[in-house]
Structure 1
Amino acid sequence: MASSSSLLSEEQFLCPICLDVFTRPVSTPCGHNFCMSCITSYWDNASFSQCPVCKEQFQRRPDLKVNTFISELASQLVSLQTSYCDHSRVLVLFCRDDNTLLCDVCSSSCHARHNVVPVQRAYERMKDELENTEAKVQQMIQERFHKVQSMTESVKQTAERQADGFVSDMQREIKELQRTAVKLRELKQTTDQLRFLQSYSSTSLLPHTMDLSTVSANKHLEMQHFGKSLRKSASQLRVSLDEMNTEISRFSGGTAESDAATLRYMQQYEVNIVLDPDSAHPMLCLSNDGKQVRYNMGAGMWAGQFLNPNMFTSHLAVLGRRGFSSGRFYFEVCTGQKTEWCVGVATASIQRRGPLVRSSCCGLWAIWFLIDKFETFICPGVPVHMGKVGRVGVFVDYDKGEISFYDVENATPIYSFTECSFTEELFPYFNPCDNEFGSNLEPLTIVPVCHVE
């Protein structure tokens, strides 16, 4: 029986454009394969859509989906390339003394008296250590914040310059701990045992920080004007801490890998959304299971339908049955080939009779897709994202006042509302729109989470 390495050839998994192993591979109608980002960029810079390999032209730009079969094979190839030592033997052991992956030959020849364990055991132990380190980082962050608070309450006099200097040191340490926390969470997402052990380094997990036990409020009692300055600085530190927690929860970093990690984090807060027929505009059709809504061009309207006070009478919208007034929640919507749609969240008191004014106080936080670009509902005419999205993820952190929209298929952010102030229940909001920008009768469909790789 042939081995896996003989069945897989690296040349078979190289993108013809970037000449590297496929990343999110897609297949064109002519049968050639490319990285999603490579072929998308190629077509964005071309006057018409054609295959870069065989030059076959397409009348319409193909709607490409990730080829999961090729993607899995490419991942296996990368794993095979990185799972062997210099002697072409499988890495099955881990030296705890040197933090090094080993084959059986290397273990017996160069690490005979070292603490060597199987990869699986090392992986499980370091996973546990990572959990403890992550908890310690969070504790250190909170200790620094509470230290400033306690000094604010107990100290009456000190120099403003020294008060500002102390808090500046705390802010710097919190930022360092923030970056550490992000790295720990990203490392914790790694399921490949070999990559995890290669990335893990116990000597660099925690940054150098101040010993808070040496910081005492009594040292500042003889200084003047401390109270006012420190209260101001503590308020600034609270803002920094809130921003830091937001960054951690979203796995900030800007790379494709961190964007995927952010989306995976959000997806764990998936909730079951069902549409509320009592809120639906009369020209909308809902599916029996409450998961789809579409514009019904031929639907009639009669006065009796407007007796329901919860119904939208001008806005082609419908809300979810369930409202949220705390915590986090997430849902995904399939938009298909629609040319216009609007999705987000709305307050319970959103205006339902007559036109809805597009302003910051209208009670609606949503993105509006029109043909090939995105706007926010409250800022018409100002594009915030370009391109088409077939599946959008909506994440809400009620307590932090954040709403984020993600392109699920590409694991990339679309737009985020931040520093919002919510005072009432929020309901998922859906508007399939009419046919103003072309055929648009496809439904908006609430779908189960599509977990990113």
Structure 2
Amino acid sequence: MEMNQQELADTLRGGMVSATTSGSEENFSCPICLDVFNSPVSTPCGHNFCRTCITKFWDDKDQYKCPVCNELFHTRPDIQDNTLLSEMVDQFRRSVRVKEQPCVEPEVPCDICTGTQLKAVKSCLVCFISYCQTHLEPHQRVTVLKRHELVEPMDRLEEKMCKKHNQPLELFCQTEQVCVCQLCTVTDHKSHPVVPLKEEYEVKMAQLGEIESEVQQTIQERQRKIEEIKDREERCKADAASEIAPGVQALNALKDCIVDGLENLDQMVKEKLKSTEEQVSGLVKELEQEIEDIRSEVKQLSHIEDPLHFLQTLRSLNNPPDTRDWTTVEIHCPSMITSYIDNLDRLIHTLNRSMDRVPDLESALKRCRWP
């Protein structure tokens, strides 16, 4: 049974001390297990369940819908902890336990006792300490301590004291929405309307129903914003992928072109060097052959005894008719720089054409930025 705002306000009024009837318990019951909420969570449609109950309910289903209103969700909802309802359930449980137990005055322990702490009988507004009867004795005997203001025992005494006047915070300023002491009402809050803390507490508790409704609306708005942000992220990823793909393709083609260009340049240089090496080898062989012929003819001269034959042979040796004029023979190294520059120009031209196909990544990123 889902609790509406009016029922919530009626239940909370008066601190929920009277919440012992079965109707009050139903207001804090999970619609699935029908027991008091345990770790309550909220669905996007605004209904509340135990976290374990709604989780198991959806685990067994192919579709995700609300067990109360049957609203169908396309994806499994991201359930949120209902902190406000959890605090209200805790208050309800405490009120039930208090009702079931004998009504006893809450005891404030002595702050001085070690080991087992005895019940405090007084709290000092100067020392911010609560004392049992034994440890209170110096305040009743020592002159300086006797001037301290003693009050009925209070727990968390320092938190309940006005930092400016060292007086109990017993009133509530409705103008500035803060707790004040009696001295504050004649100083800083002189012209402000003030009421007892208990009275303001009861009013605020009665308004918790409206507060919960506003909190639920805020949660749903945040959940919708989360979905919007996630959708925008997916669109940005898709846009980035479509922008990057042509650029990656163009750059890969450029890389292949550069690799091919380097291989072609290397092959061309090797071929020119090989041609030069073959030319040098041929000339060297030719020169070596002429050297061998000359040596042979010189050797033959030493064996000629006929003067006429000797002189004729010597003359042909000095003026060989079929030998090359080696003074005009030169070896020129092949020009590599011209071919290199030609290849480089082709690579640059290819690079420019490829980069024209690369998208403007900066513009693409700007389109993905949040407005």
- Same fold by TM (over 0.5)? no
More helix, by proportion: 2
Aligning the two structures, in what range does the TM-score lie when normalised by the shorter sequence? under 0.3
More strand, by proportion: 1
